Amino acid sequence: MIDFISGEVVEKSTGRVILQNNGIGYALQISINTYEHLPQIGESVHLKTYLHVREDTLQLYAFFQEVERKVFLALISVSGIGPKMAQSILSGIKIYELIQAIQHGDEQRLNAISGVGKKTAQRLIVELKEKFMQMGLLEDQQFPEYKPLKLSNQEEEAALALLSLGYKKQNVEKALFKVRADGDGQSVEELVRKALKVI
């Protein structure tokens, strides 16, 4: 198994990075979490890796943090979750938020991840809680205080506006949780406009 690759960043995007090492360019699949930690093009980085082997393909997945690789490996052990879906989940939520959502059985937070429906969220909670505990990932001191997702007053107003347009409540909440990443203090109009782009 290829455990890690160190090299110069030649190209990067939110889903892939190319590292050059000894004249060889390695194309690595990455999550947004890892992308946000990458240095500038031309600089060097050390990434943990996982080699996914199938009959028709070999695909390298890379992780800036060892904890992300551990969580990725736990995710792909869940029935119905493959490497692409696991990377999509890691791109849709911060690692510590995912771990604590599993710990607290927070289906709502998991449902806010693109592609994760109610049944998938329930399966993740059931199958991962014990695994995360065995891996030592459920120790509260490792992560910030857990705060379940709730809509703010402005988000509530934006939700009402979106619901009046005919969108379903679950889709509206998912969209608003996604645009929350842009920070607090957004106006109702801004929230509605951004939510409409991702709903």
Q: What is the CATH number of the domain that holds 21?
A: 2.40.50.140
- Residue 95 scores a pLDDT above 60: yes
Q: Which of 59-73, 99-113, 145-159 has the lowest mean pLDDT?
A: 145-159
Neighbours of 193 (CB within 10 A): 13
Percent of all residues in the chain with a pLDDT value above 90, rounded to a whole number? 48
* Inside any domain, residue 166: yes
* Residue that is last in its domain, among 48, 63, 78: 63
Same domain, 47 and 93: no
- This model's pTM is above 0.75: no
Residue with tokens 């093009």: 41
Residues 168-189, mean pLDDT to the nearest whole number: 76
Domain containing 174 equals 153-198
Element (H, E) at 173: helix 169-179
Residue whose C-alpha is closest to residue 73's, from 14, 125, 122, 135: 135
* Cβ atoms 199, 169 nearer than 8 A: no
* Inside any domain, residue 147: no
- Residue 168 scores a pLDDT above 90: no
Q: pLDDT band for 20, please (50, 70, 90 cuts).
A: very high
Name the token pair of 174. 């998912």
Per-residue pLDDT, 82? 93
Residue whose C-alpha is closest to residue 90's, from 129, 64, 55: 64
Per-residue pLDDT, 122? 93
Q: Where are the beta strands (DSSP E) in 36-161?
A: 44-54, 57-63
* Inside any domain, residue 170: yes
Same domain, 124 and 71: yes
Domains held by the chain: number: 3
Same domain, 138 and 110: yes
Same domain, 87 and 52: no
